[in-house]
Amino acid sequence: MASLDSSATAQTSGATSLTWEHTCSGTSRTLLVNVFYADWHTGTISGVTYGGVALSVVPGSTNSFSYNNLESIQYYLPNPPLGAHAVVVNANYGVGIIGISVSLNGTNGSIRNVLYDAEYGNSADPSGGGGAYQFAAQAGDALVTFLAYNGSGTPTPGVGQTLITENAIGTSYGAASSYMVAASTVELVYSFLGIPGTGYIATGVLFEAGVQISGIRKCPPGLLTSPTRCSAVLIQRADGLQFGLSDATVPFIYDGLTYQVVQGADASNVHQESGTPVGDMEVRTILNDALDYVTSTDVRGTRYNNSWWTLFLIDYMNPGNGIMIMGKYRLSKYSNTDSSQKFQLKGLLSILSQATGRTYSANCDVMRFGDKRCDPGRTIRASMSISCTVLSCGVVDGLFTVDFSGSTKPAGYFSFGDATFTSGANNGLEAQIKTHSVLTPAAWSGVATYGLGDYSTYGGDTWISLRTGNTGNAPGVLAGWWQMVTGNPATVARIGWRTPAPYSVSVGDVATLCFGCDRRKATCQDVPNTENPSSTNIENFHGFYLPSPDQILTVGRLM
Asked whether residue 283 is domain-assigned, the answer is yes
Q: How far is the CA of 505 from the CAs of 295, 299, 421, 508, 511, in angstroms?
A: 18, 17, 10, 9, 10
Same domain as 171, residue 59 = yes
- Tell me the longest C-alpha to C-alpha distance in the chain: 107
Cβ-in-10-Å burial (0-12, 13-18, 19+) of 459 comes to exposed
pLDDT (0 to 100) of residue 523: 93
Same domain as 339, residue 284 = yes
Asked whether residue 546 is domain-assigned, the answer is no
The two beta strands, 455-458 and 442-443, are: parallel
Range of the domain at 269: 221-351
Asked whether residue 526 is domain-assigned, the answer is no
Query: What's the average pLDDT block by block, 10 residues per block, for the chain (559 residues)?
Result: 83 88 87 81 81 87 66 88 92 85 83 68 48 62 76 56 67 62 52 54 77 51 77 80 84 86 59 46 56 63 74 85 78 66 65 58 87 90 94 71 91 93 88 91 92 89 89 84 87 88 86 93 92 92 74 52
Asked whether residue 37 is domain-assigned, the answer is yes
For the beta carbon of residue 467, count every other beta carbon within 10 angstroms. Answer: 15
The answer to whether residues 413 and 515 touch, using CB atoms and an 8 Å cutoff, is yes
Tally of domains in the chain: 3
Asked whether residue 345 is domain-assigned, the answer is yes
Same domain as 423, residue 323 = no
Angle, CA of 214, 219 and 221, to the nearest 5°: 125
Asked whether residue 534 is domain-assigned, the answer is no
The answer to whether residues 120 and 207 touch, using CB atoms and an 8 Å cutoff, is no
- SS3 string of 232-293? EEEEECCCCCEEEEECCCCCEEECCEEEEECCCCEECCCECCCCCCCCEEEEEEECCHHHCC
Same domain as 190, residue 235 = no
- What's the rounded Cα separation, in Å, for the pair 96 and 130? 25
Domain boundary, last residue among 160, 176, 209:
209
Whose CA is closest to 459, among 478, 444, 481? Answer: 444
Domain boundary, last residue among 209, 234, 249:
209
pLDDT (0 to 100) of residue 340: 67
- What's the rounded Cα separation, in Å, for the pair 382 and 530? 13
Same domain as 314, residue 451 = no
pTM, two decimal places? 0.47
The answer to whether residues 428 and 548 touch, using CB atoms and an 8 Å cutoff, is no
pLDDT (0 to 100) of residue 528: 94
pLDDT (0 to 100) of residue 221: 65
Same domain as 78, residue 167 = yes
Same domain as 336, residue 426 = no
Same domain as 226, residue 190 = no
The answer to whether residues 47 and 128 touch, using CB atoms and an 8 Å cutoff, is no
Residues 6+ apart with CB under 8 A from 267: 231, 281, 282, 283, 284, 311
Same domain as 240, residue 110 = no
Same domain as 337, residue 483 = no
- What's the rounded Cα separation, in Å, for the pair 416 and 399? 15
Asked whether residue 173 is domain-assigned, the answer is yes
pLDDT (0 to 100) of residue 266: 57
Same domain as 225, residue 198 = no
Asked whether residue 337 is domain-assigned, the answer is yes
pLDDT (0 to 100) of residue 169: 75
Whose CA is closest to 537, among 370, 413, 367? Answer: 370
Domain boundary, last residue among 331, 351, 371:
351
pLDDT (0 to 100) of residue 463: 92
- Looking at residue 71, its amino acid is E
- What's the rounded Cα separation, in Å, for the pair 369 and 382? 11
Same domain as 38, residue 152 = yes
